[in-house]
Amino acid sequence: MLLQKRARERNWARALATLAANPAASQRAVAREHGVDPATLNRRWQPYKTALAAGDAARMEECTRIRSGGHNRTFNAEQEGVLRDIVLQSVPAMGAQQIRDAALQMKADIDTLDGRALYTRSRRVFKASDGFLTDFKHRQRLSSHRTKLVKQSKKEMERRDVEEECFQYVQSVRNAVLEYGAHRVLNMDETPIALCDAPVSAVTATGSKNAAPIKTDFLTNHNLTTFPCIAADGTKLPLCAVMKGKTDRAFKKVTEGASAAVRRVRLYRSIKGWMTVEIMQQWMQDVVLPYTGGQPAALVLDR
């Protein structure tokens, strides 16, 4: 096997040297002459030509190497079985590019979980090449078939969209926790509340079949927006709220006669009582920056 591999590498060296001597030659003809694959020759020729122009003999020789069996150094049998299950359970069915993306994502996840650096000193980088895909399908008894269009209802399509969003969300948050630590992965959400809740019941005449009417402008005109924030490790950042008002006098509705706990809430104001770009930026300066100390962090928000 080793002698065959060396013979094939000599064929690649001769084919690339032929193209270097005559760049205008037909690559298909050169490949046929030296018994190599035309498509692979085209891929190898570009880095070989660059190395030749730079006079880098080591990289030129690297272009002639045969790296068969690289998949065995990327996934073990169990991991490749997981990839096979992903392919078989995918709806809609995967094509070559989708399988390649899934393999690259799995490789990145394995490196992250194992604590290995994504970029090593080795020149070998897993690219999920066409050769890998071909061998993977052969080993796992997979094959490409003609596609068949299956009409999906709007409800099913929306459900798949939600499932994909949930999956992407979980992946993003997990990656952020691994990269920054749970202490610096923050989740903030805005929640509108009323300063006074409407009473659940009120007194009216016995036997009346109508609801007891109540009337007040206070419930609709004096809402505020709270935006609590918590870290993935359970640490709570200072509670903040947006009041409806044009001046700081709007804060008196909350602070006058309030307890110490209420006065600890950091208050902002806007014309409509909703979050604005300016308030968001100020909150980042007032609350988030002192908490993170300027260290890289992730902030999880809704739409």
Q: Output the DSSP codes for 144-189.
A: ----------HHHHHHHHHHHHHHHHHHHHHHHHHHH-GGGEEEE-
Specify if 116 maps to a domain: no
Can you give the pTM of this predicted structure? 0.43
The secondary structure of residue 286, as a DSSP letter, is I
Letter for the amino acid at 158? E
Q: Which helix (H) or strand (E) holds 79?
A: helix 77-89
DSSP at 197? P
- Judging by DSSP bridges, how do beta strands 185-188 and 298-300 pair with one another? parallel
- Does residue 118 have a pLDDT over 50? no
In a domain, 40, yes or no: yes
pLDDT at 289 over 60: yes
Q: Is residue 224 part of a domain?
A: yes
Among 62, 81, 111, residue at a domain's last position: 62
Query: What span, in angstroms and rounded, lies between the C-alpha atoms of 143 and 85?
Result: 14
Q: Which two tokens stand for residue 88?
A: 């078989």
Residue 109 included in any domain: no
| Final residue of a structural domain among 38, 62, 86 | 62
Strand order in the sheet with 223-226: 191-194, 223-226, 240-244, 266-270
Of 44, 62, 80, the domain-final residue: 62
pLDDT tens readout for residues 127-149: 888 888 888 888 888 888 888 87
For the chain, the domain total comes to 2
Q: pLDDT tens for residues 231-276?
A: 999 999 999 999 888 888 888 877 888 888 888 899 999 888 888 8
**What does the mean pLDDT of the chain come to?**
82
Residue 34 has pLDDT above 60, yes or no: yes
Residue type, 268: Y
Residue 14 falls inside a structural domain? yes
Choice among 93-107, 121-135, 269-283 with the minimum mean pLDDT: 121-135
Distance CA 232, CA 182 (A): 5
The CA distance from 100 to 127, in Å, is: 8
Domain assignment of residue 230, yes or no? yes
Task: Tell me the per-residue pLDDT of 139-186, one tens digit each, with 9 for 90 and over.
Answer: 888 888 888 877 767 776 667 677 778 888 888 888 999 989 999 999
Q: Which domain holds residue 37?
A: 2-62
Best-predicted range by mean pLDDT (45-49, 134-138, 208-212, 233-237): 233-237
Query: Does any domain span residue 185?
Result: yes
Q: Strand, helix or coil at 37?
A: coil
Residue 26 lies in a domain: yes
Question: For position 237, what pLDDT does the model report?
Answer: 95
